[in-house]
Amino acid sequence: MFFARLRIAVPLSLVVGLTLTIPATTVGQDAAAEEETLAHAMSLSRAFRRAAQRVTPSVVTIISRVNPPPVAQGEGEEDEAMEGVPPEFQEFFKKHGGMNRFRRFGGPQRGMGSGVIIDEGGLILTNNHVVEGADEVLVRLSDGREFKGLDIKNDRISDLALISIKGAENLRPMKLGSSEKMDIGDWVIAIGSPFELEMTVSAGIISAKGRSIGASQRRGRYLQTDAAINPGNSGGPLVNLRGELIGINTAIASRSGGYQGIGFAIPVDLAKWVVSELRDDGKVQRAWLGVAIREMDADLGRQFGLARHGGVIIAQTVPDSPSEKAGILAGDVITHFAGSRVRMPAELQAVVERAEIGKGHEVHLVRSGNVQVMTVSLEVLPEKLGVRRPAAPPATKPPAQ
């Protein structure tokens, strides 16, 4: 016992001695370093606070209502519908044409999303899926004022829509930034109404750029963020610390239906183009090349003698399309279009759809190991593209000479 106490007592005396001999300058330096660290943290906190305060008045809550049509009882459901009905009432229904004469009405369905004021005249940008099919759209401003949503213009492919409100004064449009200038690791703020909790602010970073989110009709090169995005955030803004709009929150990757750290936003640079098209024409007019395309992965790259993501493979051309007229073949690999480098299918889609229609555009491609340059004149994207889209499997080897 004595030995054990000795072993403990010696180190304690050493510790006490060491503590007493720490120079005062070291303590002062530690305090100064701690104060400097805290100052940096507080500075970042103020930046988040200022950005949130700057943009919140430009964020709106969008409430959509859908009135389902009346549902009538079918002829074959008569006996089943009568089950459980007292005999005296069954006789009443039979005298008056049966149960199928009495219609059931479903209650109105209600959805909630978010939006961004982009014009002091009352123009609001949101997701198409927030308002599509709605019989009534209500816009609630951050100060509680409510207005009926009017003159809704939408674009299903980009999942963007414009809503107008009338009679609203002192609106504060959000400044539009540049999604192209954002980089991975940059701080961002998401604002919206998740789970009907209006004007909720969350923070995160840009996790990735140029993301594709499945084979749905929507397409684009999305911003990925870990800022919390949940149901109700759709259509709301993703902003940088300057308080500039850099994206429209649109989707999440989740196995639970809620936030799991991966959210996606439509880049504001795409939104600017869609807004200009909807404002001018009421619809988005896209250019069309007329090809089925495929990503150049590592295996295909070895077959083509190119690096992974070294270009976009042409799987098939649509008959009588701009690509076929220009001489593009299945198995060609497009590396540049109209002066822009293209590595992924979404990059080619983006540059083609916004290109000028009817004008000749230079295309650089690789065919059987040789670089060729062609000129293609784009046409308007057909409305019934699904009918004309080729169904053949993609090319997996270079075309024959």
Of 58, 64, 114, 129, the active-site residue reads 129
**How many CB atoms lie under 10 A from the CB of residue 220?**
24
**How many CB atoms lie under 10 A from the CB of residue 387?**
7
Render 273-312 in DSSP notation, one character per residue.
HHHHHHHHHSS---EE--EEEEE--HHHHHHHT--TTSSE
185-212 burial: b if 16+ Cβ within 10 Å, else e: eebbbbbbbbeeebbbbbbbebbeeebb
Q: Locate all alpha helices (DSSP H) within 237-283, ordered by sequence.
A: 268-281
| Residue 159 is a catalytic residue | yes
| Residue 129 is a catalytic residue | yes
Local structure of residue 359 (DSSP, 8 states): S
Residue identified by tokens 């991966």 is 262
Residue identified by tokens 């213009």 is 153
Q: Report in angstroms the alpha-carbon separations of 15 from 4, 171, 270.
A: 17, 65, 64
Of 114, 158, 159, 364, the active-site residue reads 159
Query: Could you give the 3-state DSSP secondary structure of residue 48?
Result: helix
For 206, the enclosing helix (H) or strand (E) is strand 200-211
Find all residues with CB under 8 Å of 166, minimum gap 6, and list them.
122, 147, 150
Render 122-163 in DSSP notation, one character per residue.
TEEEEEHHHHTT-SEEEEE-TTS-EEE-EEEEEETTTTEEEE
Of 164, 193, 207, 234, the active-site residue reads 234
Smallest Cα–Cα separation from 64: which of 116, 130, 156? 130
Number of H helices, E strands in the chain: 10, 21
- Give yes or no for a contact between 378 and 311, defined as CB atoms under 8 angstroms apart: no
> Annotated catalytic sites, by residue?
129, 159, 234
